[in-house]
Amino acid sequence: MLKLQDLHHIAIICSDYERSKKFYTDILGLEIIQEVFREKRDSYKLDLALNGKYMIELFSFPNPPQRVSRPEAAGLRHLAFSVENLESVIHSLQNQGIWSEPIRVDEFTGKRFTFIADPDDLPIEFYEICISAILPV
């Protein structure tokens, strides 16, 4: 039987490298591990971490085709980040000019969540997790 250990990373191709780099680092707060320009491909590769854990590879390529987000297409639907306080996240995003969808409630878990879009319209979800519910008291 196949036994996976963990999710290693998610790769994202962006249309405007500097704009997406700013979004993922300055707005979402991911940490830069390494940034490489691959001259043969005319492409950047930016390795990003969340809380010290390698998570996202951000790539630039010359003239990538536009991502289909709506209507939803087959393939990766969205990225989701867990947060402790949804209102705090929404307020912080609004202060940076990023607007979210209205808060919704997951009908199966009762947890609250909302979505924004990255610079290439990739949906980003923020899913509220009550820390006290997952940590032993």
Instruction: State the Cα–Cα distance between residues 99 and 114, nearest whole angstrom.
Output: 10
22: helix, coil or strand? Answer: helix
Q: Are residues 46 and 8 in the same domain?
A: yes
Nearest alpha-carbon partner for 111 in 100, 127, 90: 127
Residues making up the chain, counted from first to last: 137
Calculate mean pLDDT across residues 83-103.
95
Range of the domain at 88: 77-137
pLDDT greater at residue 71 or residue 16: 16
134 pLDDT band, cuts 50/70/90, is: very low
Number of domains in the chain: 2
Domain CATH code at residue 83? 3.10.180.10
Is the pLDDT at 122 greater than 80, yes or no? yes
The answer to whether position 68 is within a domain reads no
Calculate mean pLDDT across residues 97-107.
95
The pLDDT assigned to 132 comes to: 52
Q: Are residues 82 and 134 in the same domain?
A: yes
Nearest alpha-carbon partner for 120 in 69, 79, 47: 69
Calculate mean pLDDT across residues 5-25.
94
Cβ atoms < 10 Å from Cβ of 134? 8
Work out the angle at residue 134's Cα, subtended by the Cα atoms of residues 132 and 137, and round it to the nearest 5 degrees.
Answer: 55
Calculate mean pLDDT across residues 19-46.
96
Which residues are within 8 A (CB) of 30 and not within 5 positions of it... i.e. 6 or more apart? 24, 48, 49, 50, 55, 56
Do 93 and 136 form a contact (C-beta atoms < 8 A)? no
The answer to whether position 70 is within a domain reads no
133 pLDDT band, cuts 50/70/90, is: very low
